Structure formats: C-alpha cells, structure tokens
Structure 1
Amino acid sequence: MTKAHPHPLVDILRKRIAIIDGAMGTTIRTYGMAEADIRGERFQDSTKDLLNNGDLFSLTQPTMICDIHRRFLEAGADIIETNTFGATSITQSEFFVDDPREHGGRKDPEFYQKIIEDSYLDGLAWEINEQSARQCREWADRVGNETGRQRFVAGAIGPLTVSLSNSPDADDAGFRVVTFDQVKAAYAQQIRALIAGGSDLLLVETIFDSLNAKAALVAIREVFDEDGLTAKGTELPVMISAAVGRGGETLISAQTTEAFWNAVNHVKPLAVGLNCSLGPDLMYPFLSELAQKADVAISCYPNAGLPNPLSETGFDLGPPDMARFLGGFAQDGLINIAGGCCGNTPEHIAAIAKALEGQAPRKFEAGA
C-alpha cells in the first residue's frame, strides 16, 4: 500500500524521531464532562449511558475535542489521531441497540448483519469519522502554518468490541459472533469517511486480535482499489500497531511479535509498532524484537504504566517517567515514532518530545 512518490513523513522519519499524540480518553476526563455533556440536545433521549462513548464528543463537544488536538500539537506532536477509536457501526451499536442477551437471545452473525445494514448506525459512524478527521485537519494545518512545521492527521482505526479469532461460548469453540465480511464492511465505511475528512494516513491500532486487523487491512486495500486511489497514485500510507501482553503476544489471537510482523509485512506499511499494553518498561523486549525484524519505521506509544485509580490520570507514570523511558528507547536505536497511549496527557507528550529532541532515529530500509 504505497504511493508513487515517498510520503513526506518518510523523509522526516529518516531525519528525526516523529512525535505522535497521547490519550484522547484520558485527556477528555480532565475536562470533567458528564453524561449531559456528551448527550447534548441531539442524543438527550438515548436510552443507554453514552459517557464512555468518547468518539461521540466529536459531534456534541467539538470545541473541547479541538482544544485537545491543539494542546497535543502545541506539545510537539507531528501526528495527531482522529477521535475515532470506536467509530464503526459495530462498536457504536453497543450504545444505541438493545443487547439481545438481556432478553434471552445472543449476539451472532444474524444480529450483526442487521447492524451493518442499519442506516442510522451507518450514517452516525460516517459522521463521527468525517467530522473528527476534519477537526484534526483544521488544527494540524493551523498549527503547522503557524510553526512552519508540517503536521499530519492519522485516521485512527480501533480493534472493535468483537473478535474474529475467539468464541465467547465456552461450549462452542467454533462459534463466532460476527463474520470476516461483516467486520470488513464496517471498517470500509470508517476508512472512506476518514479519507473524506482529510486524513494523511490510516492507523490500524491497539491490535489485540490479528484477524480483526486483517479485516481492516483488507478493507483498506479494497477501498483504495474500488475508489480509484490506486490508479491515481493517491493511496494513503498505513501504520499498524499492536497491543501485547506479558509474553509479547497479541492479547486475543496470541501471535508473538515476530509472527505478527510476518502476518502484516505484505502490506508494506509506513510503520509498524506497539502501543497501549502494560507500560514502557514491560514493552521494551518486544519492541526491541520488532525493531530487529521489521524493515520499516517503528512506532511506540505505550500506556503510562499500569492502571492506578489513585493517580490523577488513572495510570502510574507521570511526564518525567515517560520521557525517561522513551528517551531510553531512542538511545538504544529502537524507534522512529514515539508518543503515548492511555494515561498520557499533553504534558506527557511535551516531556517526551523534549527528551527525544536531537535523538537519532532508528535506521530502516523500506520507504513509502
């Protein structure tokens, strides 16, 4: 999935370590939003709680979301992610459709086929993705023009609330709640909206199920081909980032770091990496292994340590801690893109950016 000419990010990644932003959810919580804030007038009659549906804030509280993008950019982020981690019809159905299990039924492919064909959910997913991308685009361009340094918008594609690899039924190992084609269709809708909103690249992230990620990557390929981006030479570069457990395996599909890379390297991504997970200290050996195996740029944006409900951000590590860990990764020649996932605020990203300033990026062979 490459463009005819190298993407501007490739030159940057060869010259210096690029900075990606931090956690949208963590930062939203610092604004003290309540249920009424996310509902606004538009969703005030919803029958389910919506506060955990952070993507919806892009529609109901755009001023706040844009302020968060601005803060991450001013902290030094070269790449900001759209607020679309759960912006597919499949994930949005968790907040807008009654759960059949509450009435003696079950979620299965028949249920999810109705979700895929639901015009309301389809339209809502499109709107969240397109608007979030437009919000990022506006602020990336604004800060980029003000500072004379180009900034980039990554269309964020999350892992979904369903798994293609595992059965939720202990008595029926072959059962799957959803099909590959249904997942692919949901992702294709998201991808098209992210492109329409002005994304510079597509980021398939926090991968805990490699088969879900495969569906997203197939959807990207098909969208590029079907919409003529391939013929026009206007394909967007792709970043791929997995979440791993203590053994360095993707959390549900249990692929090792090397197996994960072997499963996705045919995509020829701009970058591959690790995010979320258990914090930077526990991530180190798996990041090191990936950096040895992959011939593309390496990204790393870990959680700020382990969850800690007593801390201000809900995670153990503060800005100086993250700066120290990511600085160590850079000194060891492991990274080309660095930032933070859960628990990382604009203050964390500013500290990381300062620590990595002037540090040499990891050398890599492939280009995009």
Structure 2
Amino acid sequence: MGTTIRTYGMTEADIRGERFKDAPKDLLNNGDIFSLTQPAMIEDIHRRFLEAGADIIETNTFGATSISQSEFFVDDPREHGGRKDPEFYQKIVDDKFLDGLAWEINEQSALQCRRWADRVANDDGRQRFVAGAIGPLTVSLSNSPDADDPGFRVVTFDQVTQAYAQQVRALLAGGVDVLLVETIFDSLNAKAALVAIQDVLAAEGKHVPIMISAAVGRGGETMISAQTTEAFWNAVRHVKPLSVGLNCSLGPDLMYPFLSELSSKADVAISCYPNAGLPNPLSPTGFDLEPADMGRYLGGFAQDGLINIAGGCCGNTPEHIAAIAKSLEGRAPRPLQQDLVEQNV
C-alpha cells in the first residue's frame, strides 16, 4: 500500500484535505489518513491489486489505532522536558478525538476494501477476501526505552489492548472477512492484539478467522522480543489461527530458512509476503527486486512445499503481485496436518 501510494505523487496538502488542513504536525507519512481524505486513490489501489490477481487485500489500517495516530496529532512531551509513560498513554487511549479517528479510519478502510473485493468477485466469479490489517504500534511492551531503567515501560498491556479493541470493533463493523495481526516485531504487542480480538469476538458473538504474521531480522528472531520462529509460534498457537507466517523484514532469499523452520513446526496454514528485497533508494520502488524476481522466489517457496498463502509487502506493486500470482498457477499448496492424516489413511 505505502509503495503504491507514493506512485500517485500525493503532497502534504493532498493528505490534509479540508478536514485536516490545520493539523499541527506533518501528516504525509500517515498513510492511513488517505482513506479519509483521498478515498478514490485508496480504492483505485485496491482495484489494481485485485485485478492483478490478489485473492486477499488488506485494509489501509496498519497504524489505525489511537496510540499510533497520536504520533501525528499530539505533542511529544519529550520535546518539553517530559516523557512518554503510562500516564501519558492513558490520556491517549481515553482521548475521544483519537478514539473516534481510529474508528473512522478502520471502518471506512474496511468498507472501501469490501466494495472492491465484492465488485471484482462479481465481475469474474472468483471470491475475494478482505483482511483487516492490525499493525505492531509505535511502542513496545517488551523493551524499555530508558537504558538506565530497564524495568520501565512507556505503556501498559491493558492500554495496548484497549487501543487494539477499538480497531477490531471498527474493522468488524466495516465487514472484514479475517483479522490479520501483522509485521509483528514484539510478540507481547501481538498478544495484546490477540487478547483484544478474542474479547471483542466474544462480546459480539462473532467468529472471524485470525491470521498472524511476524517480521524477523537476519538471525530469524522477532526484532524486539527476539523470539525464534518456533518460540514465536508457540507464543501464539493457542488462538488457533487460520495461518501463521512471515512478512516484511528481509527479502525472500534471506527469509527462506526461517520460513522453512516455521513451516516444519506449525500445524496451520503458512503465509509469506516478504519485502521486494532490501531497501534501495536508487530503485523506482525503493526496493531491489523486480516483479519477475518476486515471482521466482515465491514460486520456489511453493515448489518446496513451504507455503499456503503468498504475497508481497513493502516494495511490491500490483505488477509484483501479478507476477507472483502467475508463478503460483497450478502449484499445490503446502499440505496441512489434516491433509497429511487423510493421505496416510
């Protein structure tokens, strides 16, 4: 989404529109706001990815929580001699403007996705699905930002859960098919998101599948909580997700051994949507790999029996997704545990 937004040449004035013209901070890096101020562009992006061959598209809600949105609308107390701490973030999660903004972004983004997923599905007869994107936040529950106070946390588990719960409620109101906790660098943040999902689903009497996807570093560990892929799986398997996988972080070549390990351990579907290689400011997309490269790598993952769901994260355009979709035509998905049982019988 972010890569493709940049190709539209939007400016600060474009993202502000009339509604946010007096916002005190720059908003151009707040891509979720485009769902409110430039909905035609966001819907055009959804259309292009669907027509490129995507079966699942994500809502434009990666940072659509009160906590993440506060970075763009609330003064940083550290600039005035203060600090961000649980008292600060309690005001954030209780702030009616931020709470309402988070709801609106999530609900509208889900409705935009839903509209185009259904329209394209009706045109060609193949069902499409909407994944409610739930990102990792701008704060960590696992680590202290203060080297002199390792026990300090800027935010509490309950505050993070509260922010995620509002996001989940709004995504459900917008009609998503699945909830996707993604780009996880801190497993404790992810656990708060999963608690929020379970609480909201129970309260509303709904059942919506959950997808979980982590971002890992060169050693294969989640980047802040530093869990290996196997440890990460063991930390989240209790929610019985539809799928678990890896996304973002490394390019597909460096991701291979960690994906292979996860595939050998998990008894659910495996997803993989890597960046288009590593960042490269000289590349038109900001990343190294071209569509043909991504198609070759993801096709190789499928050939080796590692994945059930394939796609692309940062640096991937509709052309990349088209190449991935083409490379996967006719390839068998990784057998699930039940499939193996039935084959053995």
TM-score of the aligned structures, taking structure 2 as reference length: 0.98
* Cα separation, 2, equivalents of 1:249 and 1:292: 16
> In the alignment, does 2:149 pair up with 1:177?
no
- Structure 2 unaligned regions, length at least 5: 340-345
* Cα separation, 2, equivalents of 1:103 and 1:356: 54
1:71 shift after superposition: 0.3
Query: What is the RMSD of the two structures over their aligned residues, measured on CA atoms?
Result: 0.7
Q: Assess, with a 3 A threshold, how the Cα gap between structure 1 residues 159 and 366 changes in structure 2: closer, same or farther.
A: farther
> In the alignment, does 2:284 pair up with 1:347?
no
Give the partner amino acid of 1:80.
Answer: I
1:155 shift after superposition: 0.2
**Deviation per residue, 1:82-136 (Å, 9 max, x gap):** 0000000000000000000000000000000000110000000000000000000
1:278 shift after superposition: 1.2
1:225 shift after superposition: 1.1
Partner of 2:34: 57
* Cα separation, 2, equivalents of 1:92 and 1:193: 15
**Deviation per residue, 1:321-364 (Å, 9 max, x gap):** 10010011010000110000000000000000000011110001
Partner of 2:59: 82
Of the three residues 215, 218, 221, the one matched with 2:195 is 218
* Cα separation, 1, equivalents of 2:338 and 2:250: 29
Partner of 1:237: 209
Partner of 1:291: 263
Q: Which secondary structure does the structure 1 equivalent of 2:180 belong to?
A: strand
The count of corresponding residues between Structure 1 and Structure 2 is 339
Q: Do 1:327 and 1:352's aligned partners in 2 also have CA atoms closer than 8 Å?
A: yes
* Cα separation, 1, equivalents of 2:241 and 2:119: 27
Q: Which secondary structure does the structure 2 equivalent of 1:56 belong to?
A: helix
Partner of 1:103: 80
TM-score of the aligned structures, taking structure 1 as reference length: 0.92
Partner of 1:273: 245
> In the alignment, does 2:174 pair up with 1:197?
yes
Q: Do 1:296 and 1:366's aligned partners in 2 also have CA atoms closer than 8 Å?
A: no
Q: Which secondary structure does the structure 2 equivalent of 1:299 belong to?
A: strand
**Deviation per residue, 1:224-262 (Å, 9 max, x gap):** 111222xxxxx1000000000111100000000000001
- Structure 1 unaligned regions, length at least 5: 1-23, 230-234
1:213 shift after superposition: 0.0
Give the partner amino acid of 2:22.
Answer: D
* Cα separation, 2, equivalents of 1:249 and 1:351: 29
Aligned-pair identity in percent equals 85
Give the partner amino acid of 1:320.
Answer: A
Give the partner amino acid of 2:41.
Answer: M
Of the three residues 53, 56, 72, the one matched with 2:49 is 72
* Cα separation, 2, equivalents of 1:121 and 1:152: 28
Partner of 1:15: none
1:365 shift after superposition: 2.2
Alignment of 1:81-160 (within 5 A): 81-160=58-137
